[in-house]
Amino acid sequence: MFVLDQQSLVQGRHAVLNDISLEINAGEKVALVGPSGAGKSSLLSWLWQQHSDDIALCPQEGGLVDILSVYQNIYMGGLSRHSSAYNLINLIRPWSLRQQEVYTIAELLGIDETLAVSPDRLSGGQRQRVALGRALYRNKPIFFGDEPVSSLDPKQGDELLGTVLSQHKTAVVAIHSPELALKHFTRVIALNAGQLVGDWQTQDITLADIKAVYSGE
């Protein structure tokens, strides 16, 4: 489904990703691990370009529009399903059918109380839930996330990640927590300084293997 064959990505004079070869098949749930600046985000956006229409993307900064309500922010995931006129009307007067759909997702994520609030008034954790809500509302078979639960406490992050992954057939998620990577994913890809330093099936490795990536061994 996603294929990279000895490819490199150069930004300016600096190689962000170096000689990467990998293949990801439908049905796989892949965790991208590695220290900050390892090239995880670049790899994600590179892969995203290959099938952008089938992917629900949850970028690192969330891409929230601060002054619109949480409802509208989640609804944005479904913009491509409707005509422009329909979307414009929704901006002024939300359709009740869509409200129900969005409500269902918000409830799943525990933010149903905040639907009318704008994200600039929410905590970092709540904002991440909104961003996840938008990704879920995209209704796509593939989920791409860039640190999607980094602002949540470990327990909440664990639960939400499980929820989101269960709604998608395939997933590629950049994640810092080795525990979550092991628990929720079928495959772990490790990057360091733009190099592919590990590519394992989850059942073959232990926490120590992932932690080793961060200590640079």
Partner 1 sequence: MPQTFSSSVLIKGISTGARLRRLSLFFSLIAIAFLFVADIHLYTPDPWQELSRIGLGLVTPYWPNASELGVSLLYTVSFALLAVSGAAIIGMLLAMWYHWRVVRVLAAAVRSVHEIFWGLMFMQIFGLSATTGLLAILIPFTGIFAKVFSEIFEQQPVTATSTFGKASRLSRFVYGWIPQAWPALASYTRYRFECALRSSAILGFIGLPTLGFHLETAFKQGDYSEAAAVLWLFLLLIASVRFWLKLRLLPVYLLLAVLALPEMPPVNASFIWQFFSQDIWPTALQDGDFNGTWEWVSRVGVNEVWPALWQTIAITQAALVLSGVLALMLYPLASRALVGRWSVLGRFKLLVLRSVPELMLAYVFMLLFGPSALPAILALALHNGGLIAFLLANSSEDANKRIGEGVPKGMMRFAYIDLPQRYPAFLAFLFYRWEVILRESAMMGVVGIATLGFYVDSAFEEIRFDKAFFLIVVAALLNICVDGLSRWLRARSGLKAPTL
Q: How far is the CB of 21 from partner 1 (least distance, A)?
A: 23
Residue with Cβ nearer partner 1 (52 or 186): 52
CA-to-CA distance for 190 and 214, rounded, in angstroms? Answer: 9
Residue with Cβ nearer partner 1 (14 or 155): 14
Residue with Cβ nearer partner 1 (76 or 188): 76
Q: How far is the CB of 70 from partner 1 (least distance, A)?
A: 8
Residue with Cβ nearer partner 1 (3 or 116): 116
Residue with Cβ nearer partner 1 (96 or 215): 96
The neighbour count for residue 48, using CB atoms within 10 Å, is: 17
The neighbour count for residue 200, using CB atoms within 10 Å, is: 14
Contact residues toward partner 1 (CB under 8 A) are 45, 48-49, 52, 55, 57, 59, 61, 63, 65-69, 71-72, 76, 79-80, 84, 87-88, 91, 94, 96, 99-100, 103-104, 112-118, 120-121
Residues 6 or more apart in contact with residue 112 via CB below 8 angstroms: 103, 106
- Report CA torsion sign: 193, 198, 199, 201: negative
The neighbour count for residue 121, using CB atoms within 10 Å, is: 12
Strands (E), the chain: 2-11, 14-24, 29-33, 55-58, 142-146, 170-174, 187-192, 195-201
CA-to-CA distance for 114 and 70, rounded, in angstroms? Answer: 7
Q: How far is the CB of 216 from partner 1 (least distance, A)?
A: 29
Cα–Cα distances (Å) from 51 to 1, 48, 168, 193, in that order, read: 9, 6, 15, 25
HSE-up (13 A, CA, CB side) for residue 170? 18
Q: How far is the CB of 72 from partner 1 (least distance, A)?
A: 7
Q: How far is the CB of 29 from partner 1 (least distance, A)?
A: 20
Q: How far is the CB of 122 from partner 1 (least distance, A)?
A: 10
